[in-house]
């Protein structure tokens, strides 16, 4: 299933193996939603230490619904799956960095198949292709963790050499 909350996030028809679904013929189903800010403000959930946002094109809406929570120093990291094909990819990254969050190119470069060159990351973003999991942080220790990790990183599933 795919929830888009009245905003179609599909740029084109989708295909999964042999099954395909037209953009305008997606399954529609109801879903209950709330903002993280409301859940925290009402005491329903505590302020989280770490947040993961993986919502297939609606990241900008989720971020908008947790602005106050993101300002709380108890939140240490925020992982956001950024789809560069989304019209909101750049603005989501800018929103986070404008709020004082940072990300590490060292973290973005780690991939299960190979270490991504910085130029490739920049090109994918510029050409609106693919996407990456951005881990946003404020504490410098995370930058050091990602730097140390990349320095010793061996991709677990390297691509076969041709």
Residues 6+ apart with CB under 8 A from 77: 49, 50, 51, 135, 136, 137, 142
Average the pLDDT over 40-55 and give the result: 96
Q: Does 108 score more than 90 pLDDT?
A: yes
How many residues can be counted in the chain?
A: 162
Higher pLDDT, 22 or 38: 38
- Which of 73, 123, 63, 69 has the alpha carbon at shortest distance from 94? 63
pLDDT, mean over the chain: 90
Residue 127 · residue 90 · CB < 8 Å: no
Going by pLDDT thresholds of 50, 70 and 90, the confidence category of residue 1 is very low
Higher pLDDT, 19 or 148: 148
């Amino acid at each position: 299933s795919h929830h888009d909350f009245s905003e179609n996030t599909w740029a084109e028809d989708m295909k999964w193996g042999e099954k395909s679904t037209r953009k305008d013929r997606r399954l529609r189903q109801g879903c209950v939603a709330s903002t993280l800010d409301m859940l925290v403000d009402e005491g329903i959930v505590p302020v989280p230490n770490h947040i993961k946002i993986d919502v297939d094109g609606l990241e900008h809406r989720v971020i908008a619904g947790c602005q106050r929570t993101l300002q709380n120093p108890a939140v240490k990291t925020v992982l956001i799956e950024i789809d560069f094909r989304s019209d909101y990819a750049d603005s989501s990254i800018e929103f986070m960095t404008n709020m004082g969050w940072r990300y590490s190119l060292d973290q973005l470069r780690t991939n299960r198949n190979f270490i991504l060159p910085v130029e490739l990351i920049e090109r994918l973003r510029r050409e609106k292709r693919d996407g990456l999991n951005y881990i946003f942080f404020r504490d410098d220790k995370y930058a050091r963790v990602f730097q140390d990790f990349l320095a010793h990183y061996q991709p677990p599933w390297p691509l076969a050499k041709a």
